[in-house]
Amino acid sequence: MSQFPRSPKPSLSNYAFIDAQNLNLGVQRLGWKLDLVKFRRYLSEKYQVGKAYVFIGYLEENKELYEFFETSGYILEFRQTVLGESGIVKGNVDVDLTVKSLTQIDEYAGAVIITSDGDFYPLVDHLQKVNKLVAVISPYRKTCSSLLKKSAKSRISFLDRLQNKLELKRGSKNQSGKGKSTKKEGSD
């Protein structure tokens, strides 16, 4: 037994706000699949995230995927989907994510925003000004908005550097394989 007391576990007092479609498409563009269980653990360990909200358009055929998210420690925030002009299913989550993060601002120590979408520039800028921004995690450096990079400053990181740590390995049960691919969903 060590003569030194163990340091207390860090409090999981930060919240993550995840733009699901942006995360999904960004990782797909990188050519790999995200292991949702490893990603949730990463958010907890690296950023002390206690609650991880996933903002996603609802499709009946993806029920098993949604259940998998929930059993993996995510809190789902559904958005009704609509069929866009080009036939792509859209679940515009930007406003929902922004409102949730602002209405709960007194409940968390800091926010981790997961997106590459420049529409979140005002939110990130505000969180930065009130000292509530922990990090912005962008799935893909090349498609990350320059406004988002500017507002996040040094608090932005990119998933392309974490493939070895977060990639879903073949045969892994850390992802629901059932349900329709969300590849066609949009989240402008």
Coil, helix or strand for 165?
Answer: helix
Find the domain containing 79 and state its range.
14-184
For the ranges 10-19, 36-45, 91-100, 174-183, the maximum mean pLDDT occurs at 36-45
- Is residue 5 in some structural domain? no
Residue 6 domain flag: no
CA–CA separation, 50 and 95 (whole Å): 22
In a domain, residue 112? The reply is yes
Cα–Cα separations (whole angstroms), residue 77 to 26, 37, 65, 101, 146:
20, 18, 14, 12, 27
User: 50 with 142: CB under 8 angstroms?
Assistant: no
7 inside domain: no
According to the model, what pLDDT value does residue 111 have? 98
Q: pLDDT tens digits for 88-132?
A: 777 779 999 999 999 999 999 999 999 999 999 999 999 999 999
Q: Please check the confidence at residue 163 and state whether its pLDDT lies above 80.
A: yes
Please state the domain count of the chain. 1
Answer yes or no: is 167 within a domain: yes
- Does the residue 3 lie in any domain? no
Q: Is residue 2 part of a domain?
A: no
Classify residue 100 by burial, with Cβ atoms within 10 Å: 0-12, 13-18, 19+.
middle
pLDDT digits (tens, 9 = 90+) for 46-62: 999 999 999 999 999 99
Which range is least confidently modeled, 8-12, 19-23, 62-66, 87-91? Answer: 8-12
- Closest to 145 in 3D by CA, of 136, 134, 135, 154: 136
Band (85; pLDDT cuts 50, 70, 90): confident
Q: pTM value?
A: 0.85
57, part of any domain? yes
Instruction: Say which CATH number the domain at 32 has.
Output: 3.40.50.1010
The two structure tokens encoding residue 161? 């550097």
